[in-house]
Structure 1
Amino acid sequence: MAGTTSAASPRKDAVRNRRLLLDTAAEMFAERGVEVSIGEIAQRAGVGKGTVFRHFPSKDDLLAAIMLGILGELSEAGNALLEAEDAGPALRRFMTTCVETFVGDRAFCETVGRPSLQHAEVREAIHRLCGVAEALTARARAQGAVRPGITGIDVVLLVSGVQHTAEPLLAAEPQAWRRYLELAIDGITADTGRELPHPPPDGLPLA
């Protein structure tokens, strides 16, 4: 019995340390962006740098793990909204949740284009999120809540664009993103009777 306890304890410590590192790194990356060093993360977490590298061989592996958590939460939020009776407000809530997440986490959008984006699990999580966005958008299209031809990829690109548009204003005006989100929502819901001048993209550029 004693042997079982001693064997289990290191595993529990490893799980606890991994969770501590993820939480600490996510907080620091969200506050300051991806330039935070592994040494700073280790210091705030109260562990050695070697402990960080045992769990995450590189900073990009650490960023990938954090991205997986955020993408998973957004997909879960979107899936829950698929149960809503009114698809228009459900899509609006999904878009709001996405932008609110992006503007509150500097590292998330800074990660785009980094090697962590090439992790197979991260790419799969992005595809899952796009699938959820398409399901929400398809329901909204069927109910006439968005313009014909609007796709889930359009929605994902728009919420990312809202964050980038508002980013220079956020330090002085943290809620400025809501203005640009509303403009984006108006753009997909107001049916002008005109066709959009370019077909929707087939997917996100993840190369």
Structure 2
Amino acid sequence: MTEIAERAGIGKGTVFRHFATKEDLIAAVVEDLLDDLITAAVARCDATDPAAALREFMTYGVDRLAGNQALCDVASGSVRHPDVQAAVVRLGDAAQALVDRARLRADVTGRDVVLLMTGVHQAAAPLRDTEPDLWRRYLDLLFGGLFDTTDPAPPSA
């Protein structure tokens, strides 16, 4: 907390007045990141092409995750702070609204989409330095698997 206060150019007491613990500070930062993803999902809920909207959201989300390992850890549910857990639930609900419109396989949920986005990031992470856009290829592979193969014409997004 001392280092954070120094970097911010404020006193340690100021930080503690706003955030009782280090976990509260981390939760506030992470909530902002999750709120950004929630906003991205909600903004796409009324799109004319629901499959394309879901793909745009997933692309945006994985791109954000690729730039922030902590966000990836949080989106996968590893942070136990109650405010963060509530934001993760809201993110799953926002993703569910996209899933409901996109004519995906019946067993796919919004939470699945969020976790799969973190999985795409994690799968590509070992090669991030040499192949920074590899996650896009993995997202393409994943996205194709989200649709019901018995549907005669899954959307081409």
TM-score where L is the length of structure 1:
0.65
Match of 1:98 among 31, 40, 61: 61
State whether structure 2 residue 91 is matched by structure 1 residue 129. yes
The corresponding residue for 1:175 is 133
Which one-letter code corresponds to 1:92 in the other structure?
A: R
Match of 2:42 among 40, 64, 79: 79
Per the TM alignment, residue 106 of structure 1 is displaced from its structure 2 partner at its CA by 2.3
2-structure distance, mates of 1:42, 1:169: 34
The corresponding residue for 1:192 is 149
State whether structure 2 residue 119 is matched by structure 1 residue 161. yes
Q: Tell me: CA distance 1:137–1:173, structure 2 relative to 1, closer, same or farther (3 Å).
A: same
What RMSD in Å do the two structures reach over aligned CA positions?
A: 1.7
2-structure distance, mates of 1:174, 1:57: 37
Count of aligned residue pairs for this structure pair: 148
Per the TM alignment, residue 138 of structure 1 is displaced from its structure 2 partner at its CA by 0.8
Which one-letter code corresponds to 2:95 in the other structure?
A: A
The corresponding residue for 1:88 is 51
The corresponding residue for 1:49 is 12
The percent of aligned pairs where both chains have the same amino acid is 47
Per the TM alignment, residue 132 of structure 1 is displaced from its structure 2 partner at its CA by 1.1
The corresponding residue for 2:78 is 113
Which one-letter code corresponds to 1:74 in the other structure?
A: L
- Structure ranking higher on relative contact order (CA contacts 8 Å, 6+ apart): 2
TM-score where L is the length of structure 2:
0.84
1-structure distance, mates of 2:67, 2:54: 20
For residues 30-78 of structure 1, what are the alpha-carbon distances to aligned partners after superposition, in whole Å with 9 as ceiling and x for unaligned? xxxxxxxx33322221122222222112221111101111111111111
Task: Tell me, yes or no, if the aligned pair for 2:23 and 2:81 is still in contact at 8 Å.
Answer: no
Runs of 4+ in 1 over 4 A off after TM superposition: none
Per the TM alignment, residue 84 of structure 1 is displaced from its structure 2 partner at its CA by 0.5
The corresponding residue for 1:9 is none
